[in-house]
Amino acid sequence: MAYFDAASAAPLHPVARQALLASLDEGWADPARLYREGRRARLLLDAAREAAAEAVGCRADELVFTSSGTRAVHSGMAGALAGRRRVGRHLIVSAVEHSSVLHAAEAHEADGGAVTQVPVDRTGAVEAAAYAAALREDTALACLQSANHEVGTEQPVAQVAEVCRAAGVPLLVDAAQSLGWARVEGDWSLLAGSAHKWGGPSGVGLLVVRKGVRFAPQGPGDERESGRAPGFENLPAIVAAAASLRAVRAEAAQEAARLRELTERIRARVPALVPDVEVVGDPARRLPGVVTFSCLYVDGETLLHELDRAGFSVSSGSSCTSSTLTPSHVLRAMGVLSEGNVRVSLPPGTPAEDVERFLEVLPGTVAAVREKLGAPTEAKAVRADGAVLVVDAIGRRCPVPVIELAKVIGDVPVGGTVRVLSDDEAARLDIPAWCEMRGQEYVGEEPADQGTAYVVRRIT
């Protein structure tokens, strides 16, 4: 089985396993106690903090360990917003942040705060100028991920940090995806990370708050971890997390070059092997092991199941793999195709042979899924007049509305239009994306008795 979902959780690094087992024997006592076992545990905790701080590029007394990356994000945002409440309650986030950031932003807004969401371009990147334009006198905090978890695009953190610093606004960086590869550059103020993203054990996050940043921990007070992460430290996991971070960093430069070559191989060959594919994300400024593409006329959930049966574990941002039946917020913000979406994220050590086998299996797998979906459906095309077709895809989920559009576009003359009736939220993203890929004109939306009418004009 080839595991290609390291962006969700990287396999446990051998160093993490060794450190975890060793610290189970040595680090079980309370590090706050003064007797021998407690002092031994304290030495392990202090050493782990020093190692993690060195990897991050901060002081040891600026870093605390949390119970997860999500907890680090939530604690960091809440503490920074509370610490600057006299300035105001305005929060800035990008449209493609991890759900932990966006959920915290929603809670802040529900509590009376204001939130500005900065848009991204088609590669998933923000512009520093957009953050500068979003800054206000009452801005308390800005947030920006270092690299995107779904498409791998790296963000201009240093430039955004510069404009935020000039305005006196702290910048919180969610570095979960990139921290295993390198330090986050720039004059950021707060940073969050998650050990299971770099090959450490799950259940360990880290939060860095630079000296001089106004910060007020929220919730009941606690004497541990500077009052910023209450509860008894999971010392064996913390030791393993710090040890693995140091280990992966030592291997990062060489492994990054190797994985970039493998993902570039996928980026270049998938469109040549599989027709009607859009490779998404920045082609150059991206994480070493992440490549994402979307396949027209494919049910994402079925495609993932078939790839799993073929021996490949991948993930997807397609609406077809979600119980909400809405596309990934990242793909939606980018305005790219969502149906049949596949994210390949290679863990360190991935053999080139596994990538070659994936490229051999993928074309036939996609073709088989498309064949299953290509049979006539209950969706029907009705000619309204000489130059208009109406496709009724109400009640049909992705990718059926796009498939039916593709079937009938040739039945109208050049300049004629097709109205696709759909109540699937994914159609709002996928029909315009199909038009761009196929050289047709997306006219826009029109009201309909049921769902929405998406109007497409035939150009070619």
Annotated active-site positions, please? 320
What the block records as the tokens of 402 is 């796009």
* Sheet-wide strand order for 277-280: 277-280, 290-295, 341-345
Within 13 Å and on the Cβ side, how many CA atoms surround 271? Answer: 11
Letter string b/e over residues 181-204, b meaning 16 or more CB atoms within 10 A of that residue's CB: bbbbebebbbbbbbbbbbbbbbbb
Cβ–Cβ < 8 Å for 30, 221? no
Please list the residues that pair with 272 across neighbouring strands.
none
Give the helix ranges, DSSP H, for 13-147. Answer: 14-26, 36-56, 69-83, 99-110, 128-134
- Return the amino acid letter for 357: R
State the residue for tokens 């510069």: 162
Helix residue spans in 210-318 (DSSP H) = 235-273, 300-309
Beta-strand relationship, 90-94 and 417-422: unpaired
Structure letter (DSSP) for residue 339 = T
Provide DSSP, 52-80.
HHHHHTS-GGGEEEES-HHHHHHHHHHHH
Cα 79 from Cα 214, distance rounded (Å): 8
Structure-block tokens of residue 186: 């720039």
List b or e across 399-424, with b for residues whose CB sees 16 or more CB atoms inside 10 angstroms. bbbbbbbbbbbeebeeebbbbbbbbb
Residues with Cβ < 8 Å from 403, sequence gap 6 or more? 297, 373, 374, 377
Burial of 167 (0-12, 13-18, 19+ CB in 10 A): middle
Residue with tokens 């509370």: 82
Please report, as a single letter, which amino acid is at residue 372: K
HEC string of 2-21 equals: EECECCCCCCCCHHHHHHHH
